[in-house]
Amino acid sequence: METFNDAQIPQQVFHRLEQLGLVKPTPIQAKAIPVALEGNDILGSAQTGTGKTAAFGVPLVTHLINDEQGGALVLLPTRELAGQVLKTLEQFIGRTNIPAVLLIGGEDMGKQIRKLRAYPRLIVGTPGRINDHLKRGTLKLDRTNFMVLDEVDRMLDMGFGVQLDAIAKFLTSERQTLMFSATMPSNIQKVAAKYLKDPVRISVGSAHATAPNVKQELVQLSDSDKFDRLTKEIEDREGSILVFIKTKYAADKMAIKLKKLGHSVSSLHGDLRQNKRNQVIAGFRSKKYRILVATDVAARGLDIPHIEHVINHDMPQSPEDYIHRIGRTARAGAKGEAVNFVSPADASKWNAIQRLLNPGQKIQKLAGPKGAGPKKFRGKKFGAKKFGEKKFGEKKFGEKKFEGKGKFASKDGAGKGFAPRKPKNKNFNSDEAGQGSYAPRSEARSETRSDAKPGRKFGAKPGAKFAGNSRSESNARPEGNARTDGNAKFSSKPASTGKKPRWKTSKKKKQQAAKAAA
């Protein structure tokens, strides 16, 4: 197919393509459109920015015009890409009465339900929100006999495999399915086996090749020098610039820093509400903002022709995402430039990208940070002992324990400078307290009570057992609680009140006494 007029498409569609300036099809369009118009399933892959939307959009609109009772479903990974594809398909539809609806997250569910009550024939959305409507019963796919899955590799990377399996259960068996992807990893083959029936494999160019009109530049620097180099690149370049950064927080922070320097800039990431996303993209498309700082949410589906420069401030986690990032420039045959900031920590990511872009070729690897990689064992482990070496504190056979050897030794075994050990069963002599000596209890207290109860310790409760010496008279307690004079001490015996002491009355006896009194 050299022109769109060669294909068997309705005249209204052909006129719309002419009005849009689409006269000569791209390679993927020339191969895919005739096969799809014949009713075959397609598994297609091509470089990003080669016109895959028209490759499945023209057959889709043709199918809806020819089959007035049929419906079509288009699944895409991101909200931005879904909105852009619907806008392109509506351009192909023109004035033809084919109602359409966009089902994406971040928008009012009630508003989408009201649109679904009008029985739209074209449904475009993301797998998560479409699956939600299927579970609620607000969406029926019994008339859907044409299906498109675009950017399947991205959907699988985002974890939409479970949702795709759930959606497949609601589809009719009699349908035509077109599956497109910029890259073709092995897991796509499993998805293709579930959705496609005897598909025609169409591949244009290398799936891992970048756009030929993109000039790529490598800048090796440290992480601390990235911002200064970014400002220099912005000042030295003209036209719109798309800056890719790793995290949502870093994107907002970078936009604020650039705005303080006087640049017209905005940020785009997944935490923004859908209406805010639309405002940011519309402002960048209308050149209200010269610079857009974005995460990988803008790596696919952002079709803005005037993007002239892409700066990878942070390298992507997946090598395939690099192809989609720099594919945002040099769209539809235009020229563009891509600048890559690679720090020592990003060396392994850059090497993986080069292996993907140049399979089977020897690449010049970048060195990573110093000390990176596995370290070789260069000696014994900490705390390891040689065979036969004794542990710390272990004594040889027959060796005595430390008892104050050398000049620090004393008679009682304590080292010099330590207080002498307190002898057992001895009390401090109060008469010799100034000298700090010890004396037996019998010497410190000459007078003892003959009637003192043996085994009583001063301050102990009556009846408590104590294997010690008898009390001295000076510590004895007199009968009763009254004091006799200033020199009188307390008796060791409790006061005789005729009753048992309270401490001898147990809780159980108290309860028994209370019952007897009652």
For a pLDDT cut of 90, what percent of the chain falls above it?
39
Single-letter residue type at 20:
L
Decide if 50 contacts 56 (C-beta within 8 A).
no
pLDDT at 376: 52
Which residue matches tokens 């494999």?
201
pLDDT at 446: 44
Three-state DSSP at 164 gives helix
pLDDT at 230: 96
Phi, psi of 282 (to 5 degrees): -65, -40
pLDDT at 388: 59
364 burial level (CB within 10 Å; 0-12, 13-18, 19+):
exposed
Higher per-residue pLDDT: 424 or 125 = 125
pLDDT greater than 90 at residue 55: yes
pLDDT at 138: 95
Higher per-residue pLDDT: 63 or 466 = 63
- The Cα–Cα gap between 457 and 443 comes to 18
CA-based nearest residue to 14, from 53, 61, 70: 61
Fold of 4-204: Rossmann fold (3.40.50)
Higher per-residue pLDDT: 414 or 203 = 203
pLDDT greater than 60 at residue 476: no
Range in 1-5, 124-128, 372-376, 426-430 the model is least confident about: 426-430
Pairing type for strands 265-268 and 240-244 reads: unpaired
The number of residues in the chain equals: 518
pLDDT at 468: 47
Structure tokens given for 499? 């009753």
Compute the average pLDDT of residues 432-456: 47
pLDDT greater than 70 at residue 450: no
Q: What angle do CA 59, 73, 323 make, to 5 degrees?
A: 75
Compute the average pLDDT of residues 457-478: 48
pLDDT at 490: 47
Q: What is the architecture, at CATH level 2, of domain 214-357? A: 3-Layer(aba) Sandwich (3.40)
Q: Hey, CA dihedral for 273, 279, 284, 288, is it positive or negative?
A: negative
Domain borders along the chain are 4-204, 214-357, 441-497
How much is the mean pLDDT over the chain?
A: 79
pLDDT in tens, 386-407: 555 555 555 556 655 555 544 4
Decide if 28 contacts 52 (C-beta within 8 A).
yes
CA-based nearest residue to 178, from 143, 202, 142: 202
* Confidence at 421, pLDDT banded by 50, 70, 90: low
pLDDT at 130: 95
Compute the average pLDDT of residues 476-503: 50
**Common-topology check for domains 4-204 and 214-357:** yes
- The Cα–Cα gap between 148 and 32 comes to 13
Decide if 46 contacts 28 (C-beta within 8 A).
yes
* Confidence at 367, pLDDT banded by 50, 70, 90: confident
Helix 11-19 crosses helix 79-93 at what angle (to 10 degrees)? 120
